[in-house]
Structure 1
């Protein structure tokens, strides 16, 4: 338990899958620490655990793709949250296509965007990636119930949660 737990225990924010491509290496992981952080210019911040292979690939990537999941996409959340890319090629079990800048885009998600990495920030056990959105897609045409932190409490992380 940390000093912040009494506050953060009340939160139920969206979960995301962040994917990265650097050279011929792809990676992706389930992410809870992310948020829009500027309106003009539009900016979005994602935080990746240093223990995660996706962070190591993202450190070398020019762009990251950020995907929203529907509440009923627990299988996809478990694949990107409970499996580690150190042992599993997650992209063999999830349909995807190359997006802008070669970023891996998951085919089954309701919405995604690709952002150019503007800055990397050391945040302790996580690295923050400040993204300048370049392309965004909403494939549902309307709002859909999104996967949230509460929906993922039964997923054991592929790496220890820091």
Structure 2
């Protein structure tokens, strides 16, 4: 087995909070594996752990909302990364509003987009959700300093990685 640690240990990529909703069933988690993956048409891929409750809701969802966090929003990162929706209703702890297509938008996020799920790709212990962006919003008047992997090293995951 080849390990990527010598490579990935050098990276400090942004983290995202992904939310999903199907009827009254809602979920959200902190995601480290995500990126724009096409320019034309615009597409964005987010990878959710199969062990995560958000994955179980997202596999039935038509849309997902993807949020960036500022570096100083470690409380939101701890809630969505260190708690599991199997035990905690994270949405009673934060301000949010319904977004396009029944999505869940976190009010404190400096920027977000809602994407229609175009495809799901099994990648091992994570499943990739290919999103076609439909709506976006931003409360940041200028480029925000985003929360990255380095800023979350002290968060114990609510679920194991795989």
Query: Could you tell me the TM-score, scaled by structure 2's length?
Result: 0.98
| Residue 73 in structure 1 maps to residue 76 in structure 2 | no
Total equivalences in the alignment: 162
Deviations 1:1-51 (A, max 9, x none): 961111000000000000000121000000000000001100000000000
Stretches of structure 1 that go unaligned for 5 or more consecutive residues are: none
1:76-95 equivalent positions in 2, closer than 5 A: 76-95=76-95
Aligned mates of 1:135, 1:142 — CA distance in 2: 19
3-state SS, counterpart of residue 6 of structure 1: helix
After superposition, the CA RMSD in angstroms is 1.0
**Structure 2 residue aligned with 1:103:** 103
> Following TM superposition, by how much is the alpha carbon of 1:141 offset from its aligned partner in structure 2, in angstroms?
2.0
Given the superposition, is the C-alpha separation of residues 93 and 47 from structure 1 closer, same or farther in structure 2, using an over 3 Å criterion?
same
- Structure 1 residue 59 and structure 2 residue 43: aligned? no
Equivalent position SS for 1:80: helix
Please give the alpha-carbon distance, in whole angstroms, between the structure 2 residues aligned to 1:128 and 1:5: 21
1:18 — aligned with what? 18
Runs of 4+ off more than 3 Å: none
Give the distance between the partners of 1:127 and 1:94, measured in 2 at CA.
Answer: 26
CA deviation vs aligned residue, 1:137-158 (integer Å, no higher than 9, x gap): 1211210100000000000000
For structure 2, the residue ranges without an aligned partner over 5 or more in a row are none
Please give the alpha-carbon distance, in whole angstroms, between the structure 2 residues aligned to 1:47 and 1:8: 16
Alignment partners' CA distance in 1, 2:139 and 2:117: 24
| TM-score of the pair, normalised by structure 1 | 0.98
Which residues in structure 2 correspond to 1:1-162 (within 5 Å)? 3-162=3-162
